Amino acid sequence: MTAGAPGREAADEERDFVKYTFYHLRPEWRRLPAEERRAGRTALAGVLEHPPAGAEVETYSLVGLKAGAEFLVWTVARSLEPISLLHARIAGTPLGGYLDVPYAYLGMGRVSEYVGPNALGGEGSSGRRRASGKPYLFVYPFTKKREWYGLPFEERRRVMGEHLRIGHRYPSVEIHTGYSFGIDDAEFILAFEADAPAQFLDLVHDLRPSEASRYTELETPIFSCVRMPPARLLELVEGLP
């Protein structure tokens, strides 16, 4: 329980795990014979297109957009086991032997203590997390300064009220908050789906002067991702335009 927040019973709250795994393809793969590479792409695409039962997968390209990572696998599941199994299957493909994981983030959905289950829908009113299929995704880990948790709960809720009102100016930007307390290194892993990069850039710009932003400790690295089906994604990662 967050310090100063009212008590909560989470046993009956439906929650999803979210996992963002960023992959880098070693250059040695691109030097292999074309037929071997084609078969490797097909095998990995099959794993991503047919994930284990209980897991939902979305794939995104970062080719040319971020140093050290070419694609993202975003997995949502009700338990950790399907996520673990999916990544074991990825590693077990021929192409998987040439993949490194420079970044990976794990989080869990939960009802926001500032919004609550009685909100009329929207992010924070549920512990479920599902992709909406928008073409762009922006992902980053987030940690607040410890001073934030020393504020009385009512004060934090007041500050977050301004933050939420600014976010509501951009209804087409969908946020997926993953809570990482105790299960990963950051406190949160945030992901925003948008129809255009400018929408998210303008939202972040408007949030900068907000009172809540003063309590930000960490919000990097930031990943700009383009939604793409696995087969086409792997062609781009390999350098096939």
- Residue among 20, 140, 170, 179 flagged as catalytic: 140
pTM: 0.91
Q: What is the pLDDT of residue 129?
A: 87
Measured between alpha carbons, how far is 109 from 127 in angstroms, rounded to an integer?
4
Contacts with 80 (C-beta within 8 Å, 6 or more apart), sequence order: 17
pLDDT per residue, tens digit, the chain (241 aa), is 344 444 555 556 789 999 999 999 999 999 999 999 999 999 999 999 999 999 999 999 999 999 999 999 999 999 999 999 999 999 999 999 999 999 999 999 998 888 755 444 456 667 788 899 999 999 999 999 999 999 999 999 999 999 999 999 999 999 999 999 999 999 999 999 999 999 999 999 999 999 999 999 999 999 999 999 999 999 999 999 8
98 is catalytic: no
Q: What is the pLDDT of residue 69?
A: 98
Query: Which residue is listed with tokens 């959905």?
Result: 109
Q: What is the pLDDT of residue 118?
A: 44
Q: What is the pLDDT of residue 216?
A: 97
Domains of the chain: 12-241 (3.30.70.1030)
Q: Residue 140: phi, psi to the nearest 5?
A: -160, 150
Contacts with 69 (C-beta within 8 Å, 6 or more apart), sequence order: 22, 23, 24, 62, 102, 103, 223
Q: Residue 45: phi, psi to the nearest 5?
A: -60, -40
